[in-house]
Amino acid sequence: MKHPQSKKLSSSRSETLCGIISVPGDKSISHRSLIMGALSVGESTIAGLLEGEDVLGTANALKALGADIYKDDNNIWHVWGVGIGGLRQPQAPLNMGNSGTGVRLLMGLVATHPITVTFTGDKSLSSRPMKRVTDPLQQFGAKFTACENGTLPITVHGTKMPLAITYDLPVASAQVKSAVMLAALNTPGRTTVIEKIPTRDHSERIFGYFGVPIQLQTNQIHVIGQAELSAKNMTVPADPSSAAFLIVAALITEGSDITIKNVGINPARTGLFTTLIEMGAHIKFDNIRDQCGEDVADIRVKYSALTGVIVPKGRAPSMIDEYPILCVAAACATGQTVMRNIEELRVKESDRIDVMVKGLKACGVEVHEHKDGMSVKQSTVKGGATINTHLDHRIAMSFLILGLRAEKPIIIDDATVIETSFPGFGMLLNSLGASICP
């Protein structure tokens, strides 16, 4: 399936990439900033918000739920919140497009409000598993009407009298954890989330920043519900998952030297950076600082001779979205890179393991598929293929980066999906010296 206004993009072998740049704001933090602003009393402001389709979908959904949200002439977003418990009944279903983060977080948010909300999405989102979220939310007292297999469209029948719960996460998922935490905000008493494997802690950090009574213990998160939240001013750091594409582009293109400003380096998100450094990457973190509860730095990257590694299985949660672009680095690294324990990739916007393996093979890269991952060997990237992106932005961007090293251009079938997370991706790469064109 293609986007109704799909357009192809071609990426060709490029010379040196050089420059000082910025990438869009962190998608995970952008979603959460809007949500927390909508639940606060007063006016919150957000600088650096990612203005991709996914985040704008969350903004529109929150408007339908009663928040007043707009952008001023200086690109600062303003959110007038309704307070905890103040969400209103939307007049129509909320279409979340292709945003798994948006729909799962908002289902958690509305589950403990006495309203009924229907969530819809595109074909890709409508095929993704939602029971992992609806199961714990039912324990609060919410009810759900969904398709037979538990997918979208889903109607959430929020509960009038939510009950605090203790939930042991069966899978490592920051989205599920965050949905439970958001449900806890309008639930009296203490809700506890237990996670065997630590996941991204953006929710914990932003809860603390907005004044939510939250207690953190080893593998446990306790949220005290029904507190009044005060509005805050937020600055969203640049998205490390977006920066990853530019970092790998510089690492595999001879003579390259780029700096990416204001990138989030939350330890729960830097697994790819750690892996690339283990492979021999020249990556330097400058001007490290705290920004609204998040760790931020400027990242300088130079072309490097990489060597394949076995990625530790336990590192997967800190880099789950970065495995597609790691495959690109692996194709250019001496030896073999082994990536296992990443079956979660099969239920993302696409089956990212299957799609990456097929696309890499089409481009002449030697790759072996495992049930729970893949192994990629150094290869001569022949290119000359047209890649089916399956409406997956990370697949699209990964193969455009691979094209920078290919003997023949690599074409992606649909570049419009990139707008969900990285507006202006091709133009930014070209400003550094890449050759990406329709």
392 is catalytic: no
Q: Which helix (H) or strand (E) holds 29?
A: helix 27-39
The verdict on 226 and 254 lying in the same domain is no
Q: How far apart are CA 243 and CA 332, in angstroms?
A: 19
At which of 235, 254, 272 does a domain end?
A: 235
- For the chain, the maximum distance between any two Cα atoms, rounded to a whole number of angstroms, is 62
* Closest listed residue to residue 375, CA positions, set 326, 330, 338, 341: 338
Structural domain includes residue 81: yes
Structural domain includes residue 3: no
**Number of other CB atoms surrounding residue 126 within 10 Å:** 17
The verdict on 18 and 71 lying in the same domain is no
* Closest listed residue to residue 235, CA positions, set 266, 207, 262, 201: 262
pLDDT (tens, 9 = 90+) of the chain, 438 residues, equals 444 566 899 999 999 999 999 999 999 999 999 999 999 999 999 999 999 989 999 999 999 999 999 999 999 999 999 999 999 999 999 999 989 999 999 999 999 999 999 999 998 899 988 999 999 999 999 999 998 889 999 999 999 999 999 999 998 899 999 999 999 999 999 999 999 988 899 999 999 999 999 999 999 999 999 999 999 999 999 999 999 999 999 999 999 999 999 999 999 999 999 999 999 999 999 999 999 999 999 999 999 999 999 999 999 989 999 999 999 999 999 999 999 999 999 989 899 999 999 999 999 999 999 999 999 999 999 999 999 999 999 999 999 999 999 999 999 999 999 988 899 999 999 999 999 999
* Closest listed residue to residue 13, CA positions, set 415, 400, 418, 422: 400
Which residue do the tokens 């980066």 mark? Answer: 401
Structural domain includes residue 1: no
At residue 328, what is the residue type?
Answer: V
pLDDT in tens, 372-392: 999 999 999 999 999 999 999
In this prediction, residue 72 carries a pLDDT of 98
Q: Which helix (H) or strand (E) holds 33?
A: helix 27-39
Q: How far apart are CA 10 and CA 410, in angstroms?
A: 6
The verdict on 231 and 300 lying in the same domain is no
The verdict on 139 and 260 lying in the same domain is no
The verdict on 413 and 319 lying in the same domain is yes
The verdict on 77 and 129 lying in the same domain is yes
Structural domain includes residue 179: yes
Structural domain includes residue 185: yes
Edge to edge, the sheet with strand 282-291 lists 18-21, 257-264, 294-302, 282-291
The verdict on 231 and 288 lying in the same domain is no
Q: How far apart are CA 123 and CA 419, in angstroms?
A: 17
At residue 36, what is the residue type?
Answer: M
Total count of domains within the chain: 2
pLDDT in tens, 94-136: 999 989 999 999 999 999 999 999 999 998 899 988 999 999 9
Q: What is the dihedral of CA 99, 101, 105, 107, to 10 degrees?
A: 40
Phi, psi at residue 437, to the nearest 5°? Answer: -150, 165
In this prediction, residue 317 carries a pLDDT of 87
With b meaning 16 or more CB within 10 Å and e meaning fewer, what string describes 283-313?
beeeeeeeebbbbbbbbbbebbebebbebee
**Number of other CB atoms surrounding residue 63 within 10 Å:** 16
The verdict on 419 and 290 lying in the same domain is yes
At residue 307, what is the residue type?
Answer: T
DSSP classification of residue 6: -
The token pair that represents 9 in the structure block: 């993009």
CATH number for 131: 3.65.10.10
The token pair that represents 228 in the structure block: 């009044």
At which of 235, 255, 276 does a domain end?
A: 235
Rg of the chain on CA atoms, in Å: 21
In this prediction, residue 420 carries a pLDDT of 83
Q: How far apart are CA 107 and CA 182, in angstroms?
A: 9
The verdict on 231 and 354 lying in the same domain is no
In this prediction, residue 226 carries a pLDDT of 97
Structural domain includes residue 48: yes
In this prediction, residue 121 carries a pLDDT of 96
Phi, psi at residue 347, to the nearest 5°? Answer: -120, 30
The verdict on 160 and 260 lying in the same domain is no
* Burial class (CB within 10 angstroms; exposed 0-12, middle 13-18, buried 19+) of 74: exposed
Cα dist. 3→121, 189, 302 in Å?
13, 45, 35
Q: How far apart are CA 58 and CA 201, in angstroms?
A: 20
Cα dist. 143→9, 111, 153, 200 in Å?
44, 8, 14, 27
Cα dist. 106→67, 100, 223, 326 in Å?
13, 10, 17, 30
At which of 181, 203, 235 does a domain end?
A: 235
- In the set 321, 392, 413, 414, the catalytic residue is 321
Q: What sign for the dihedral angle of Cα 398, 400, 13, 243?
A: negative
Q: Is 106 helix (H, G, I), strand (E, B) or coil?
A: helix
The verdict on 81 and 211 lying in the same domain is yes
Which residue do the tokens 């030297």 mark? Answer: 257
Structural domain includes residue 2: no
pLDDT in tens, 226-235: 999 999 999 9
Structural domain includes residue 59: yes
The verdict on 229 and 256 lying in the same domain is no
In this prediction, residue 5 carries a pLDDT of 63
Residues of the domain holding 260: 9-25+237-437
